[in-house]
A and B are shown apart, each in its own frame.
Chain A
C-alpha cells in the first residue's frame, strides 16, 4: 500500500511540474492559447504508442514464459493505452476545432489511423473480457497484442506516407521545428506523463494481481467432491 502511495504522489508531482511548464511556455503566434493543448496532446499520443508497445512486449513475454506477470503487464498497459489514445483523440479534436476550424477531418490520415488503432485495442480489451478464464484470455489476446502493434509505426509515419492536414514530426534529425522554450515544456510534459503512466501501470498490475488472488478457484466437479489426499492415506 505504501508503494502505491509513493507512486501516486510521484505521479501527482509530475503532473504539477508538467502543468507549471505548460502554463509558463510561450504560446504560438498563430494558434494562440490553443497551442497549450499540445502540451497534453503530444504526451498522451506518445504514451498511447508506448503503452501498446509494452502490451506487445507483455504478450511476447507471456508466449515465451507463460507466467501471469507478463499477461498482467500486457492487460494493464492496453487499458492505459486505450485511455491515453482516447485522450489524444479528444485533445487533438479540441485543438483542431480551434485551429483548423473543424473537430474532425476525414482527410487527415493521422486522425483516422489513430481512431482505428483505438478501436483495435478496444477490441483487444473486449476479447479479454469475453474469454471465460484467465488462461484463455491470455492465450488469445497475446496473439492480438503482438499483431496489433504493427499499427503503431503506421500511425506514427502516416503523416509522411499519406497526404494529411496533420503537421509532420516536430523533432527531426536536423533539429526541432519549434522554439527551445516550447520544446523544453513539451519534453518536460512527455517525461511527466511517462511517470504517470508508469505509476498507473504498476498500480493497475497490483490490482489485477489482487483480483486474481481473490477470485474463486473453479472446481471441476462441484464443491462436494474433494480431491484424494494420497499423502495422508499413506501416512495413515
Chain B
C-alpha cells in the first residue's frame, strides 16, 4: 500500500470514529460557542469594544479548541493498537499525515460554525473582501492540525496529556495565530493578504518537514 493510501486510510478511519463518537459536534462545538459568549458577558455592554475584539477572540477560541480536536478521545489509539500498527510496518509518517488530514477537516468544520457565531455575538465590521481571509484561515487550520497531531503523539499515554499538549502547542502556534488574524486586519485597512498567507504557508511547511524528520523517533518514543 502506498504512502498516500495509508494516510488516506488513517484519515478515513479517524473520521468514521469521530462520526460514531460524535465528540466534536456534541461537545467541542457547543463548548466553543460558550467560550465565544464569555468575553462579551465579561466585558459588559460596550458594543464598540466587543465588535473590535471579535475576530481576535475567534482566533483565540480556534487555537485553544484545535487542541481539543487534536486530542479527542476518538483519535486515541490504545497502546496495543499502536504496537500492532508498528509491527505491520505502517509508515509512521503516513499515520501522522492521516491524522493531520482528519483533524484539519474537523477543525475547518469547527471554524465554519464558530465564524458565524462570532459575527452574531460580536457584530464586527467585516471588510468587503472578507472571504479572501478564508485562505489563510484554512492554511492556519492545517498548521494547527499538524502541530496538534505532533503534540498528541509526544504526550500519548501520559496522564497530564490534556493540559500538557496545549502548553506545548500554544507558544509554537503563534505564527499561525498571527497570520490568520492579521489577514482580516489587513483587509480592513485595505491591504493585501499575501504576506500573511506566506507566513502561514511557511509555518505549515516547516511543521510538515519537522513531522517527516521526527515521525520514526516519535513512534519509538511513544510506544
Partners in one complex: yes
Considering the chains assembled together, what is the distance between the CA atoms of A44 and B170 in angstroms? 25
Check if B214 sits within 8 Å of A147, measured CB to CB: yes
Inter-chain CA distance A130–B217, complex, in Å, is: 19
Verify if A67 is at the interface (C-beta below 8 Å from B).
no
**A130 and B164 contact, CB distance less than 8 A:** yes
The answer to whether A132 touches B158 (Cβ under 8 A) is yes
Q: Quick check: is A144 within 8 A (CB to CB) of the other chain?
A: yes
Report the separation of the CA atoms of residues A13 and B154 in the bound assembly, to the nearest whole angstrom. Answer: 42
A114-159 contacts to B (CB < 8 Å): 116-117, 119-120, 122-123, 126-127, 130-132, 136, 139-140, 142-144, 146-147
Considering the complex, give the chain B residue whose CB is closest to the CB of A144.
B154
- CB 8 Å contact bits of B150-171 with A (1 = contact, 0 = none): 0000110011110010011011
Whether A69 is near chain B, meaning CB under 8 Å from some CB there, is: no
Supposing A140-B222, A143-B217, A147-B214 touch, asked if A131 and B171 sit within 8 A by C-beta, the answer is no
A136→B168 contact, CB < 8 A? no
Instruction: List the B side residues contacting A127 at CB < 8 Å.
Output: 154-155, 158, 164, 168
Q: Does B49 contact A (CB under 8 A)?
A: no
Asked whether A166 is an interface residue with its Cβ less than 8 Å from the other chain, the reply is: no
Q: Which residue of A lies closest to B167 (CB)?
A: A123
Known: A116-B174, A130-B155. A123 touches B214 (CB 8 A): no
Looking across the interface, which residue of chain A has its beta carbon closest to that of B220?
A: A139
Tell whether B60 is near chain A: CB-to-CB under 8 Å: no
Residues in B whose Cβ lies below 8 Å from that of A119: 167, 170-171
Docked-complex contact A136 and B214, CB < 8 angstroms? no
Of the candidates A120, A136, A140, A142, the one whose C-beta lies within 8 Å of that of B172 is A120
CA distance A185 to B203 in the complex (A): 40
Are A131 and B158 within 8 A (Cβ)? yes
Number of interface residues of A (CB under 8 A): 20
Q: Decide yes or no whether B210 CB sits under 8 A from chain A.
A: yes
A120 to B172, CA, bound (A): 7
Dominant secondary structure at the B interface:
helix
Nearest-CB distance from B24 to chain A (Å)? Answer: 25
> Is B164 a contact partner of A126 (Cβ separation < 8 A)?
yes
Q: Count of B residues near A, CB < 8 Å? A: 20
Indicate if A68 sits at the interface (CB-CB under 8 A). no
A120 (CB) vs chain B CBs: closest residue: B171
List the B side residues contacting A146 at CB < 8 Å.
214
Asked whether, in the complex, the Cβ of A116 is within 8 Å of the Cβ of B217, the reply is no
Q: Mark B209-223, 1 if CB is under 8 A from A, else 0.
A: 010001001101110
How far does the alpha carbon of A20 sit from the alpha carbon of B161 in the complex, in Å?
47
**Measured between alpha carbons, how far is A116 from B158 in the docked complex, in Å?**
24
Establish whether residues A130 and B170, one from each chain, have CB atoms under 8 Å apart when the complex forms.
Answer: no
> For residue A117, which residues in chain B have a CB less than 8 angstroms away from its CB?
171
Measured between alpha carbons, how far is A127 from B217 in the docked complex, in Å?
A: 16
Chain A residue nearest to B178 (CB atoms) is A112
| Contact indicator A143/B214 (Cβ below 8 Å) | yes
> For A142, what are the chain B residues with a Cβ–Cβ distance below 8 Å?
217, 221
Q: Are A139 and B172 in contact, with the CB atoms below 8 A?
A: no
CA A142 – CA B161 in complex, angstroms? 17
- A sample of 10 cross-chain residue pairs with beta-carbon separation below 8 angstroms, ordered by A number, consists of A120-B168, A123-B167, A126-B160, A127-B164, A127-B168, A130-B159, A140-B154, A143-B154, A147-B210, A147-B214
Binding site for A on B (CB under 8 A): 154-155, 158-161, 164, 167-168, 170-172, 174, 210, 214, 217-218, 220-222
List 13 additional A-B contacts (Cβ < 8 Å) besides A127-B164, A143-B217.
A116-B172, A123-B168, A126-B167, A127-B168, A130-B155, A130-B159, A130-B164, A136-B221, A139-B221, A140-B154, A140-B222, A142-B217, A146-B214
**Complex A-B, nearest 5 residue pairs according to Cβ-Cβ distance, in ascending order:** A139-B221, A130-B160, A123-B168, A119-B171, A116-B171
